[in-house]
Amino acid sequence: MKEIRVTYLANIRDVTGKDKEIISLYTGTVQELIDTLNEKYSLFERGLHARVMINGKVIWKDFESEEIQEGDSVVIVPPIGGGDAVVSDVCNKCGVCVQECPKKAISLGEDRAYVNPSICVDCNTCVKVCPKNAISIHPSEGVICSYCPVNCQIKEGDLGACLRYKNLNGSLVLARKIAVPSEKTPDLPLVTGVGAGNTQPCFVPAPVIVEDTVEDVDVVTVVSATPLSFSLLKLKIDTDEFIGEEGEAVYRNGKKVGMIVTEEYGSKMIDIGGVNVFQGKNGITAARTVVEIANGEEVELRVGRKRVKVSVKIGKPPVINGEVIKRMRLGCGSAVIAMFAPLLKEVADEVIVLDSHITGLLSEHSAGKFLGMKYSGVVPFGIKSTDGRYFGEHGDGIGGTPVKDPRDAIRSIDFDQAWDGMRILVTDTTGDHISVFILEKKNLKEIEPDKKALDVVKTISKNCEKAKVSALYCGGVGGSARAGIANNPLAVTEAVHKGEIKVTVGGAKAFILPGGGINFYVDVEKVMGERPFTYIPTPATVAPMEYTMPKDVFIRIGGHLKNVTPLSKFLREHEIERL
Instruction: Summarize as ranges the residues that interact with ligand SF4 (CB under 6 A).
Output: 84-85, 101, 103, 105-106, 115, 120-126, 137, 145, 147-148, 150-152, 160-162, 164-165, 536
The residue (of 145 and 293) whose beta carbon lies closer to ligand SF4 is: 145
Minimum distance, C-beta of residue 208 to ligand SF4, in the bound complex (Å): 16
Say if residue 201 is preceded by a cis peptide, omega within 30 of 0.
Answer: yes
Minimum distance, C-beta of residue 510 to ligand SF4, in the bound complex (Å): 23
Instruction: Name the residue among 408, 557, 546, 430 with its Cα closest to residue 477.
Output: 546
Q: What residues contact residue 495 under an 8 Å CB cut-off, 6+ apart?
A: 501, 549, 553, 556, 557
Query: Under a CB-based contact definition with an 8 Å cutoff, are residues 133 and 111 in contact?
Result: no
Minimum distance, C-beta of residue 228 to ligand SF4, in the bound complex (Å): 13
Minimum distance, C-beta of residue 272 to ligand SF4, in the bound complex (Å): 21
Residue 259 to residues 232, 281, 286, 434: CA-CA distances in angstroms? 11, 15, 11, 33
Minimum distance, C-beta of residue 66 to ligand SF4, in the bound complex (Å): 23
Minimum distance, C-beta of residue 197 to ligand SF4, in the bound complex (Å): 8
- From the CB of residue 249, how many other CB atoms can be counted at a distance below 10 Å? 16
Q: What residues contact residue 276 under an 8 Å CB cut-off, 6+ apart?
A: none
Query: Under a CB-based contact definition with an 8 Å cutoff, are residues 115 and 86 in contact?
Result: yes
- From the CB of residue 465, how many other CB atoms can be counted at a distance below 10 Å? 11
- From the CB of residue 487, how many other CB atoms can be counted at a distance below 10 Å? 14
- Provide the 3-class DSSP secondary structure of residue 423: strand
Minimum distance, C-beta of residue 517 to ligand SF4, in the bound complex (Å): 24
Which residue's CB comes closest to ligand SF4?
160
Query: Under a CB-based contact definition with an 8 Å cutoff, are residues 354 and 426 in contact?
Result: yes
Query: What is the DSSP-derived secondary structure letter of residue 132?
Result: T
The residue (of 121 and 358) whose beta carbon lies closer to ligand SF4 is: 121
What's the chain's length in residues? Answer: 579
The residue (of 121 and 233) whose beta carbon lies closer to ligand SF4 is: 121
Minimum distance, C-beta of residue 201 to ligand SF4, in the bound complex (Å): 13
Minimum distance, C-beta of residue 301 to ligand SF4, in the bound complex (Å): 23
Minimum distance, C-beta of residue 5 to ligand SF4, in the bound complex (Å): 23
The residue (of 165 and 554) whose beta carbon lies closer to ligand SF4 is: 165
Minimum distance, C-beta of residue 292 to ligand SF4, in the bound complex (Å): 16
Query: Under a CB-based contact definition with an 8 Å cutoff, are residues 491 and 556 in contact?
Result: yes
The residue (of 159 and 361) whose beta carbon lies closer to ligand SF4 is: 159
The residue (of 203 and 391) whose beta carbon lies closer to ligand SF4 is: 203
Burial class, 414, CB count within 10 angstroms (exposed 0-12 / middle 13-18 / buried 19+)? exposed
The residue (of 149 and 315) whose beta carbon lies closer to ligand SF4 is: 149
Query: What is the DSSP-derived secondary structure letter of residue 399?
Result: G
Minimum distance, C-beta of residue 126 to ligand SF4, in the bound complex (Å): 3
The residue (of 113 and 398) whose beta carbon lies closer to ligand SF4 is: 113
- β-sheet with 443-447: strand ranges across: 383-386, 389-391, 358-361, 350-354, 423-428, 434-440, 443-447
Minimum distance, C-beta of residue 89 to ligand SF4, in the bound complex (Å): 17
The residue (of 115 and 418) whose beta carbon lies closer to ligand SF4 is: 115
The residue (of 94 and 513) whose beta carbon lies closer to ligand SF4 is: 94
Query: Under a CB-based contact definition with an 8 Å cutoff, are residues 346 and 452 in contact?
Result: yes
Instruction: Name the residue among 275, 341, 360 with its Cα closest to residue 540.
Output: 275
The residue (of 125 and 356) whose beta carbon lies closer to ligand SF4 is: 125
- From the CB of residue 201, how many other CB atoms can be counted at a distance below 10 Å? 8
Q: What residues contact residue 70 under an 8 Å CB cut-off, 6+ apart?
A: 2, 3, 4
d(CA 297, CA 311): 10
Instruction: Name the residue among 94, 79, 58, 82 with its Cα closest to residue 137.
Output: 82
The residue (of 128 and 509) whose beta carbon lies closer to ligand SF4 is: 128
Is residue 383 within a helix (H) or strand (E), and if so which, with residue range? Answer: strand 383-386
| φ, ψ dihedrals at 179, nearest 5° | -85, 135
The residue (of 111 and 414) whose beta carbon lies closer to ligand SF4 is: 111
Is residue 444 within a helix (H) or strand (E), and if so which, with residue range? Answer: strand 443-447
